Amino acid sequence: MQSYHDVTVEVGGIAIALHTHSAALVRLLEHRFGRFLNPSATPDFEFDITVVADSEPDEESDLTVEQRDGCWFLRRGDFRAEWDSAARRGRIWQTLNPYGIDSILRIVHTLVLSSEGGFLLHASSAIRDGRAYVFTGPSGAGKSTIVSLAPDDVTVLTDEISYVRRTPQGYVAFGTPFAGELSDAGEPASAPVAALFRLGHAEENRHQRLDSAATVRTLMRNILFFTHDRRLVDGVLDTACDFASRVPAYTLHFSPDRRVWNTLG
């Protein structure tokens, strides 16, 4: 009889337990999620994973996320998953790679945050002096560059996908393991968000305050969405408006130089 292996990945204070018979998958997950593994956490959600053979892997095929009868159904070339969010359990069928789980975790966190007050954002983020700074913008705006220029006393939360969650103390940014193939996972740390920056390039470092409408526009262009569910879209827009009313936001034009960090905060 095959034994079950457990891997519990905790991101943003939400622990997701992954159960599988595949020791090979466990090794991939442990490598992928390293510092975000928390075996002692009580799982908020659990998934049973079955590894299937590479039939005709088509990882480029479009992702679909649908809700029917209270269950979420996720499908892409390299995985399919069913998730009963009320029962907090789901099943995943996937080929032997770490990317399917990475996508599924992003989707699950996005769906949970959209109803609880939070979002995943195309942004880098980092902590300095106990305050988190979030840097967003389109590809090429400098999200990775600005955190690569960070001084030694800065903790990088992510250089790609930021995790922001509403708490009784305000909005908090958490580190994420969600990284591209060429980037590293962030640190599993968190801090209250001090400011949001919309990045652009310039010869000299300068920043300018964004009004709340521009902040909402910036957020909505960069928040990760996976659902057409009207109620959840409403929730995300509510969160963006609330965030814009509580957290200062700026445009930040910078030259690729460490001195930009002297102008923050």
Query: Which residues of this chain interact with other proteins, rule CB under 8 A?
Result: 211-213, 216-217, 220-221, 225, 227-230, 233-234, 236-238, 241, 244
Query: Quick one: DSSP state of residue 258?
Result: G
Q: Smallest gap, in angstroms, from Cβ of residue 217 to other proteins?
A: 6
- Between CA 261 and CA 256 the distance in angstroms is 11
Q: Alpha carbon of 115 to those of 26, 216, 235: distances in Å?
A: 30, 18, 6
Query: Quick one: DSSP state of residue 203?
Result: S
Residue 48 or residue 242: which is nearer to other proteins going by CB? 242
Q: Which residues pair with 254 in a beta bridge?
A: 201
Q: Nearest Cα to 154, choosing from 175, 136, 168?
A: 175
- Between CA 179 and CA 169 the distance in angstroms is 28
Residue 6 or residue 234: which is nearer to other proteins going by CB? 234
Residue 245 or residue 255: which is nearer to other proteins going by CB? 245
Q: Smallest gap, in angstroms, from Cβ of residue 238 to other proteins?
A: 7
Query: Quick one: DSSP state of residue 3?
Result: P
Residue 167 or residue 245: which is nearer to other proteins going by CB? 245
Q: Smallest gap, in angstroms, from Cβ of residue 74 to other proteins?
A: 17
Buried b (16+ CB within 10 A) or exposed e, 69-102: eeebebbbbbbbbbbebeeeebebbbbebebbbb
Q: Smallest gap, in angstroms, from Cβ of residue 174 to other proteins?
A: 24
Q: Smallest gap, in angstroms, from Cβ of residue 64 to other proteins?
A: 14
Residue 32 or residue 109: which is nearer to other proteins going by CB? 109
Say if residues 167 and 113 touch (Cβ distance below 8 Å): no
